[in-house]
Chains A and B, each alone.
Chain A
């Protein structure tokens, strides 16, 4: 079955620096990709969902890149601020309507002011 590896498990950056989190997956049939953010004590909140057909997706202060050839998904926080400090999780799903996500183990990001 699908396996998702997320790196790094912990990341510490200074305010204003960029932060990059990467997930690699194994199933070539993976079609939907999600990034979630979880602040302490709170729910996982969706940051962005991307489709297999779109390689670059921009959000508020971050970019999601999808490389289907290398089976790699990345989240790039362009100018991190302390409010970005949280756990980030990627999730991958097939286009079969089976409703299942496979998650990465998460990255704990700390942004130092």
Chain B
């Protein structure tokens, strides 16, 4: 089973309010990612967890938080939503490659569509 699940699928939030998105996988993958995708743009990596270590991209460092309470779950937290946060948020997971292949395939969830009003 290569399923990555995301909840909720749709989220409506008010400007200035917090938002928490959830992702889960049961593949025992060591790495989980969050991407932001806006229409006609490439998915943009926000952050990823390798095991318990959080790595945040420099240009989104202060805008997003995340937690990974166990191997299967990862959340994306926005402390104070702004209009510019309206987007699709994609979660993905992967495991470290083997046999000299460092980069294994990322498996994606269906996304959470966030609309901030």
Contacts from A to B (Cβ < 8 Å): 4, 6, 9, 31-32, 34, 36, 41-46, 49, 51, 89, 91, 93-97, 99-106
A97 touches B102 (CB 8 A): yes
A9-B40, A100-B45 known; A46 and B105 CB under 8 Å? Answer: yes
Query: B74 interface residue, CB < 8 Å from A?
Result: no
Query: B43 interface residue, CB < 8 Å from A?
Result: yes
Query: B75 interface residue, CB < 8 Å from A?
Result: no
Contacts from B to A (Cβ < 8 Å): 4, 31, 33, 35, 40-45, 48, 50, 90, 92, 94, 96-97, 101-103, 105-111
Chain A residues with CB under 8 Å of B92's CB are: 44
Most-contacted residue by chain A among B33, B40, B50, B102 (CB, 10 A): B102
Tell me whether chain A's interface is mostly helix, strand or loop, or mixed: strand
A-B residue pairs, 4 tightest by C-beta: A97-B102, A103-B42, A44-B108, A105-B42
Closest Cβ neighbor of B33 among chain A residues:
A99
Kindly state the separation between the CA atoms of A95 and B92 in the bound complex, as whole angstroms. 19
Chain A residues with CB under 8 Å of B41's CB are: 105
Total A-B contacts with CB atoms under 8 angstroms apart: 59
Chain A residues with CB under 8 Å of B107's CB are: 43, 46
B45 touches A43 (CB 8 A): no
Chain A residues with CB under 8 Å of B35's CB are: 103
Q: A43-B108, A44-B90, A99-B94 given. 4 additional CB < 8 A pairs? A: A43-B107, A43-B109, A45-B108, A102-B45
Kindly state the separation between the CA atoms of A44 and B110 in the bound complex, as whole angstroms. 7
A89 touches B103 (CB 8 A): no
18 A-B contacts (beta carbon < 8 Å)? A36-B108, A42-B110, A43-B107, A44-B90, A46-B105, A46-B107, A51-B101, A95-B102, A96-B102, A99-B31, A99-B50, A99-B94, A101-B106, A102-B45, A103-B35, A105-B41, A105-B42, A106-B40
